Structures are given as C-alpha cells and as structure tokens.
Amino acid sequence: MSITVSFSGTSVPKNGTVFILVPSSRNLGAWGEALNKQTGQAITRAMRSQSFKGDAGQSLTIIAPHGVRLERIILLGVGKADTVSEHDFENIGGKIAGFLAKGGAGHVLVQGFENGVSTGEIAARVALGAELGAYRFDRYKTDKKDKPKAARLAIALSSSVQAKKLYSEFSAIAEGMTTARDLVNEPANILTPPEFARRARQLTKLGIKVEVLSEAQMKRLGMGALLGVGQGSVHPSQLVVMQWQGAAKSKQPIAFIGKGVCFDTGGISIKPSAGMEDMKGDMGGAAAVTGLMTSLARRKAKANVIGVLGLVENMPSGTAQRPGDIVTSMSGQTIEVLNTDAEGRLVLADALWYTQNRFKPKFMIDLATLTGAIMIALGQDYAGMFSNNDDLCQKLDTIGKREHERVWRMPMNDNFNKMINTPNADMKNIGGRYAGSSTAAQFLQRFVNNVPWVHLDIAGTAMGSPKTPTSKGWASGYGVKLLDRLVRAYYE
C-alpha cells in the first residue's frame, strides 16, 4: 500500500473520510464542532449512543453522515489530553492507514492538546505513523487483488509551516525504516551477501561514499574471524563501508556497525529446523545501519557518519568452519570456535576492529540480532544495551523512551569476561549456559579498545516483534529512528 501525505488549510473537507482526534474530555475542537453542526449533531449523538469516551485506542465510525457528502467520519480516541505522547500520535497515524487500506482520500482534523506538543509536531507525527502503517512487503505477490490500493491523506491544521519542516525529517526516517524492513523481509535466496552489498552501493545516489571489500582484501587485512563464518557458503562474504560527510572534514566521525548474517543455519552446529526460516532476518543489524545511513543522507544530516556492514552466510558444507577450530582475528587475537552458531560475534569482532582502527571514531554503536538469551531476559519490547560508556547509554535511554524504540542496559563485569577464557586460545566464542547475552557482549568488548562503545542486541525487536499500528509486518525497522534521533539531538 502507498499513501501520499499533504498538509491542508482549515476548511472542513467535503468528501472522502474525515478523522477527528478526540481526547477523553470529548472535546471535538473547532473544526469537529463545525462538522458536528453540519451533520445535525450526528457526532455527539453517536458518541452518546456508543459510549465513546475518547480513550486511547478507541474508535467510532459514522457512515455516510446526514447533511454532508462525506463517506465516513471516524473518531479516534487519544486519551488524556495532557499526557498523550508524540509516539501516541504516530500510532494514530498508523490506525488511519489501516482505515485507508482499500484506498481513497482521508482528512485528519488536528487540534491542540494540553501536553506541550505543538500542532505542527502532532501533524508530522501522524503523517509519519501513516507512512509506517501503510508499509506492506508484497513484491512477490502476483495476484493484483491481494495488493492494497493507493491512498491520499490530507492533514488539516491552522499553520502547516512547522509540520512540513518536521515531516521532511520524519519522511526521511520513514524511508530509512522502509529500507531496513525491506532488507529484513527479503528471502535469503535473493538477498545474498553480494546482493546486499549491491543494494548498499545504490546509496551513492544520496551522496554516501560506499566501498565493498572482497574476501581477498579481507584476507590481506587478517579478518580470519569474519571470513571463517562464511567459508562454508557458495556466496562470498563482503564488508561494506559507507561514509556520509555532512560536517567539516576535521570533525571526528561517529560509527555504526551492523551484523549482516544473510542466512544463519548455525553452520556445523546446525539449528533445529523449526523456525529456521526466520534466520533470513539475522542481518537485521546491517539492515538497520543501512536504513540509518539512508535517513541521514536523505535529510542532509550535519554530521560525519560511518556505517560498516559485515555480510556473510553461515552454511554447513565440506568447507565450513568446524567446532574446535581456532581462527585469528584482525586484531591478532585468537578465537576458539566452540559453537559455529555463535557466529555474529565473530563477524562483529573484525568489523569493530576495522572501524576503530581505520576511522578513529568518537564512538561506535553496533547492532546485531545476536542472542536468543536477550529475548528470554527482555522479551520483544526492549533491545539489550551493553556498553563501556555511561553517557552514551543515558542518551540512548532518553531517546528510546521518547521515540518508543526502547533499550534496557544489561550488566557487564569481569566475571562474565572470564567466562570466555580458554586454555587453547585467547578466547572462546561462547561462555556457557548462563548470562549468554552478557558473555557475548564481553567478547565484543575485547575488540573495541578504549573507544566509547554500545552494543545493541536487537534479536527481539528487529524481526517477529509484536504488531503495532505502525509496524504490522514481520520486520520492524527497529534502530533507524532511535539512532537518527540520537544523531539529531546530540551530534549535529
């Protein structure tokens, strides 16, 4: 489904569907009252008869109301006017997209609320939510009847200047999230490491410098950890390096690194067959970084940003890595691979070292669908956050709460670090049954030196996450909005 958003003036529309945002006070606003009058008080009568109280999530549809040529008037409850959040308005936009799933024209009447959020931001947030809620991954459907129609949404408010400015930023975020969702949803027979790299190269059209390192180049750099993961696949591994320069060359860059296991069978330590099809999404971290770079470039972010993707396919074959193998990472540290299904940390080890060694960034944030253990701890509402830097964690927590891409800081300590020691090499790639997410993070920390660093374990939030009005499919695009807003708030 596609939806086109515009911002209109204050006149009440004469056709299509009108959406009115109603708080628990049941205040319809000036435009809503005008429409109520035109319909002979049909709105207030319907509210009384259906016990509509304006509670958050509540809706009421009035079909073909008397006195106007509108197809529908739909009331959308927003809850208490003084506590409704920015994200609540995005959810309302997502619900509006659902009502317009069969196409047609919709109009939203925006009024002010007692929550400190301007009408311009309310309008822009509704527009963002509508774009995200309209997303469908249907490119492989051949029956046109299954494909949703195009829709138009006009958002009416007294002054649209701020709304248009904010929406230009939010629209860039929506494009970035759509990019990430598309990548995660793609089947692994299509999105191989070379194909992912090819799509990343297309970002050059946005002004991003893109390099792709081949297996031969990575071998010369000593990336034995990353290359070991992909050696069982017929598809060559790739390292994608993206550079966005939106500030002076002298300004220190910030860096985002994504795990991109395009399909993870577990390798020789093969996974159970039930649910293995979901492992096409094991590149959710790389997808989020690609979406983030898209968003930053689209809105011309005034920052220098590095995006690095470690792209591999983890397959069992006669050439695959074996349990018990010892590999040498780019850092020179050796790793005993006790479980070939703990592969993402091997990919990130070399990607992190390469990034901090080449670019000397102000900080690094990696994103990875790394452990099932994080879902046992946090479910699918939070990403696990591990870090060596309190300031970065505080910033991410603040942004995550506001943008509803939430994080929860998890523990790291020397005891967890000791759990990955082994007598046969510098470290092993698993730490045992307990604290699996923390020992994985401790493993990664050995490759960041003293660079401020955050590891986000997004196994529960990037794919198969709970359905919401703005995320109705399998892939959520988690991380794009969180990190775009981080850059916007603190580093531009």
Helix, strand counts (H, E) of the chain: 15, 17
Nearest residue to 316 (alpha-carbon basis) of 415, 439, 229: 229
Neighbour tally for 43: CB within 10 Å: 25
Question: Cβ-count burial of 59 within 10 angstroms (0-12 exposed, 13-18 middle, 19+ buried)?
Answer: middle
Contact 68, 32 (CB under 8 A): no
**Which conformational region is residue 359 in: left (phi greater than 0), alpha (psi within -120 to 50 degrees), or beta?**
alpha
Cα 406 to Cα 45, 168, 383, 400, 402: the distances in Å are 40, 24, 6, 4, 8
Tokens of 456: 């986000």
Contact 45, 73 (CB under 8 A): no
- DSSP code per residue over 343-396: -HHHHHHHHHHHHHHHH--S-EEEEE---THHHHHHTTT-EEEEES-HHHHHHH
Residue 429 φ then ψ, to 5°: -90, 5
Active site positions, annotated: 271, 345
The radius of gyration of the chain from alpha carbons, rounded to an integer in Å, stands at 24
Q: DSSP H helical segments within 6-160, as ranges?
A: 29-38, 42-49, 86-99, 119-133
Contact 69, 14 (CB under 8 A): yes
Q: Pairing state of beta strands 17-23 and 238-245?
A: unpaired
Query: Residue 202 and residue 291: Cα distance in Å, rounded?
Result: 12
- DSSP code per residue over 195-252: HHHHHHHGGGGGT-EEEEE-HHHHHHHT-HHHHHHHTTSSSPPEEEEEEEE-S-TTSP
Q: Pairing state of beta strands 254-264 and 59-63?
A: unpaired
Contact 225, 346 (CB under 8 A): yes
Distance of alpha carbon 338 from the chain centroid: 31
